[in-house]
Structure 1
């Protein structure tokens, strides 16, 4: 199943992320191994996984390859991709989707990389932070478009502005994406539930899930908050 279909078809559309370090360099894995985290995410029903391969977060290409050998879930590679050869490598390593950061790429580069990714049967996961970047979108109906609630130019060291997702949702709808996602800064089940209730079709959560003392309890709280209220 493709990345978008897996996310849109999920009862709990949370992309669960593997990231070795947080933006301040603190370890997020602890004593856990990659196979243990992947198994925990699968048991929790993750429709898709995300693997941060960027070195500033302690990632590597080998980490993506290892995760791809452990799961049949669609996998997003999160890195600063700027060239076509990186797309081919992502595909070879086992990625199903690739991060394209609109704030760091010229309009022509975004267009070319989206086209190249789709040619390789990779889902473009285009990350935006403002309306101007949404205006740069190309073939948005075939992309995941993700609002990053943090400041990427500061390597996401801020706490995040979750209201950014709320403000930008109408612009995402107007652009034509069928899979808007809110990413980064989501640490509490109540915030996750609120963003999904606003109309987002998915969430990408890494640090919040890796730091929780009980993944199952965190997700159970989210499910309870999303459950229909009896009248």
Structure 2
């Protein structure tokens, strides 16, 4: 049986993982006058099947924000941070996370294997971020993981515009690996690009900046529905 995080995405009509993040890669404020509770309520009203909370300090996040979001919603929650130790996995579970981010490009194979095992033992979904076929091939138990292509460059703290074409190029490798829930993450700058990725076969999209700046989430969802099934050019990244 799939974990709740994966189940929620696979069952969603609009499988958007909507993210709570205070700052973008340039340090610009994304919440404005809104509270975390305001953002969570808006995401729930828009039908978000899962939420993501950035706890990394470089994006203005904190563990307290994760605990706050967990207290506000029953949606499965991804913790986004640099998880490198087993103790952090246990901490994520205690704060209310359902999934944790593991960044393949920053971890040796042995660490990836150990952390995936630790997540599964704790009942958490390993959400493994990848940028190449080699990183995909190094993920163990892919059938129990979300494999997520990051369209941006984590080495520059995701300040680049992003390359959503990377997701299209790597989708066959994700399918071969056996993940039930391939995800495209970051740099998805609008409904047309989101629709193109979903139509290609992605079962989830992780979105933050474009949603937090959209203002009208209902309108975003309606435009996404309008584009589904159309072939539209891939655009640049979220700004």
- How do residues 25-40 of structure 1 correspond to structure 2 at under 5 angstroms? 25-40=27-42
1:167 aligns with 2:169: yes
Q: Which residue in the other structure is 2:107 paired with?
A: 105
Paired residue secondary structure (1:32): coil
- How do residues 34-113 of structure 1 correspond to structure 2 at under 5 angstroms? 34-113=36-115
C-alpha displacement of 1:213: 2.6
Paired residue secondary structure (1:30): coil
Q: Which residue in the other structure is 1:3 paired with?
A: 5
TM-score by length of 1: 0.97
Q: Which residue in the other structure is 1:225 paired with?
A: 227
Q: Equivalent of 1:178, from 177, 180, 184?
A: 180
Deviates more, 1:155-164 or 1:206-215: 206-215
User: For the residues of structure 2 that align with 1:136 and 1:153, how far apart are their CA atoms?
Assistant: 20
- How do residues 115-130 of structure 1 correspond to structure 2 at under 5 angstroms? 115-130=117-132
| Unaligned segments of structure 1, at least 5 residues | none
Q: Which residue in the other structure is 1:208 paired with?
A: 210
Aligned residue pairs: how many?
229
Runs ≥4 residues deviating over 4 A: none
CA deviation profile, 1:48-87 (whole Å, cap 9, x unmatched): 0000000000000000000000000000000000000000
User: For the residues of structure 1 that align with 2:168 and 2:39, how far apart are their CA atoms?
Assistant: 30
Paired residue secondary structure (2:224): helix
User: For the residues of structure 2 that align with 1:22 and 1:68, how far apart are their CA atoms?
Assistant: 22
Q: Equivalent of 1:151, from 150, 153, 157?
A: 153
C-alpha displacement of 1:227: 6.2
CA deviation profile, 1:103-150 (whole Å, cap 9, x unmatched): 000000000000000000000000000111011110000000000000
User: For the residues of structure 1 that align with 2:116 and 2:139, how far apart are their CA atoms?
Assistant: 9
Q: Which residue in the other structure is 1:21 paired with?
A: 23
| Unaligned segments of structure 2, at least 5 residues | 231-239
C-alpha displacement of 1:223: 1.2
TM-score by length of 2: 0.94
CA deviation profile, 1:166-221 (whole Å, cap 9, x unmatched): 00000000111110000000011000000000010000000010011311111110
